[in-house]
Chains A and B, each alone.
Chain A
Amino acid sequence: MLILVPSISAASLRAASSQAFPKRRLKRERTTDLSFQKTAAAAPCDRQASLTFLPFLFISMGSKEENGDGEMDQTVKKYLRGEAANLEGLQDKKLKGQLAIREELYGKSAKAAAKIEKWLLPSEGGYLEAEGIEKTWRIKQESIAREVDILSLRNQYDIVLPELGPYTIDFTPNGRYMAAAGRKGHLAVVDMKTLSLIKEIQVRETVRDVVYLHNELFFAAAQKKYPYIYNRDGTELHCLKEHGAVSRLQFLKNHFLLASINKFGQLHYQDVTMGEMVGNYRTGSGRTDAMQVNPFNGVVALGHSSGTVTMWKPTSAAPLVKMLCHPGPVSSLAFHPNGHLMATSGKEKKIKIWDLRKFEVIQTLSGHAKTLNFSQKGLLAAGTGSFVQILGDFSGSQNYSRYMSHSISKGYQVGKVLFRPYEDVLGIGHSMGWSSILIPGSGEPNFDSWVANPFETSKQRREKEVHSLLDKLPPETIMLDPTKVGTVRPARKKEKKPTKEEREAEMEAAVEAAKDTDIKKKTKGRNKPSKRAQRRKEIIDRAKRPFLEHWVEEQETFRKKQKTNMETEMPKSLQRFVRQKAT
Chain B
Amino acid sequence: MAEKKRKERAGGGESRTNKKFKKHSNSKGLTKKSKDKSNMRRKRTGPRLPSALRTELDRLNARISANSDDEINSDVEKDVYEYEEEVPQEESRKNRRFDPVENYEYELPEDFEDENVSSDDDDDDNDDDFDVGGNEGNLIEDLDDSDGVEEEDDGRHLRMLQGITGMSNDAFEGKKKKNNVVISEAHPESEYNPTRDVLEGDGHITVQDLLEPIQGKPGYSKLRKRVQYMDRKSTSIQAPLPKADREKLERMAVYEHSKKDITKWEHLVKRNREAPTIFFGEDVDLGFSTVGAIASEFEPRTEFEKKIASLVYDDKVIEAHKADGSKLLELNKISAEDYMKHRNHIAKMRSLLFHHEMKRKRVKKIKSKTYHRLKNKDKLKAASAEMLMDPEAAKEQARKQEFKRAEERMTLKHKNKSKWARRILERGLNAQDEGTRAAMAEQLHHHALLTRKINTVKDSSSSSSDSSSDEDDEGSDQDRASELLEKAKEKTLKVLEDDEEVPNSGVLSLPFMVRGMKKRKEEAIEEAKLALQEYEQLEGTVGAVNLKPATASGRRVFGMANNEASESNNKIKTDNKKMKMDNYYGNSDSEDDLEAKENLNITGGRKNDVEKDAGPNCVHKEAADVRQDSVFKNFDDIVRDPGPKTTYEVAIFTSDSWRKMKSENGVDANVKKSQEIKEPIVQNQDLKEGEEESDSDSEEQMVDGILSTGPKDSYELPSQSELIRHAFAGDDVEEEFEKDKQEILNDENPEPDKPVLLPGWGQWTHIQHKKGLPSWMLKEHDDAKRKREETLKKRKDAHLKHVIISEKLDKKAEKLQTKTLPYPFTSKELFEQSVRMPIGSEFNPETAIRALNRPDVVKKPGVIIKPIKFEEVHQHEKPEDHKRSGQKRKPNRSKGAVGKMKKQ
Residues of A within 8 A of B (CB): 80-86, 90-92, 94-95, 97-102, 104-106, 108-109, 112-113, 116, 162-163, 165-166, 183-184, 205-206, 224-225, 245, 263, 289, 305-308, 313, 315-316, 318-325, 327-329, 347-348, 359-360, 385-386, 409-413, 415, 431, 450, 476-477, 479-480, 483-489, 492, 521, 524, 527-530, 533
Contacts and interface: CB of A to CB of B under 8 A. Distances in A.
Contacts of A415: 688
Interface stretch (B223-231, B285-293, B570-578, B830-838): B830-838
A90 B725 contact: no
23 contacts: A82-B833, A83-B833, A85-B834, A91-B826, A94-B824, A99-B834, A105-B848, A106-B837, A113-B844, A183-B702, A224-B695, A318-B808, A320-B806, A321-B803, A322-B740, A323-B804, A328-B725, A359-B800, A359-B802, A359-B803, A476-B813, A483-B836, A529-B438
A165 B706 contact: yes
Given A477-B813, A489-B817, A320 B833 contact: no
A316 B816 contact: no
Interface residues of B, number: 82
B13 interface: no
Nearest to A206: B695
A476 B695 CA distance: 36
Contacts of B817: 484-489
A328 B730 contact: yes
Interface string B868-904: 0000000000000011011000000000000000000
B698 to A, nearest CB: 7
B277 to A, nearest CB: 10
Interface string B294-314: 000000000000000000000
Contacts of B825: 95
A489 B848 contact: no
A308 B845 contact: no
Given A85-B830, A263-B692, A316-B810, A105 B852 contact: yes
B420 interface: no
B700 to A, nearest CB: 12
Contact of A386 (B714, B808, B842, B851): B714
A184 B802 contact: no
Given A81-B838, A305-B729, A385-B715, 9 more contacts: A92-B824, A97-B274, A101-B276, A112-B845, A206-B702, A323-B802, A411-B711, A476-B816, A529-B438
Contacts of A315: 810, 812-813
Interface of B: 274, 276, 368, 370, 433-435, 438-439, 687-688, 692, 695, 698-699, 702, 705-706, 709-716, 722, 725-726, 729-730, 733-734, 736-737, 740, 744, 797, 800, 802-806, 808-810, 812-821, 824-826, 828-838, 842, 844-845, 847-848, 851-852, 882-883, 885-886
Given A83-B833, A489-B818, A413 B709 contact: yes
A306 B736 contact: yes
A413 B828 CA distance: 55
Q: Which of A225, A245, A328 has the most CB of B within 10 A?
A: A328
A85 B829 contact: yes
Contact of B833 (A85, A95, A412): A85
Given A108-B885, A224-B695, A486-B817, A479 B734 contact: no
B714 A385 contact: yes
Given A81-B836, A84-B833, A479 B712 contact: no
B4 to A, nearest CB: 25
Contact of A108 (B803, B814, B851): B851
Nearest to B837: A106
Contacts of A321: 803-806
Closest 5 CB pairs of A and B: A529-B435, A109-B848, A410-B711, A85-B833, A489-B817
A327 B818 contact: no
Contacts of B831: 487-488
B730 A112 contact: no
Nearest to B885: A108
A347 B722 contact: yes
B102 to A, nearest CB: 48
B788 to A, nearest CB: 12
Contact of B804 (A81, A263, A322, A533): A322
A347 B438 CA distance: 81
A16 to B, nearest CB: 11
Nearest to B736: A306
Given A112-B845, A166-B687, A328 B729 contact: yes
Contacts of B828: 487-488
B734 A327 contact: yes
A488 B804 CA distance: 24
Contacts of B882: 100-101, 104
A308 B805 CA distance: 13
B438 A385 contact: no
Contacts of A486: 816-818, 835
Contacts of A347: 722, 725-726, 729
Given A108-B885, A113-B844, A206-B702, A306 B829 contact: no
Given A113-B844, A386-B714, A450-B842, A477 B851 contact: no
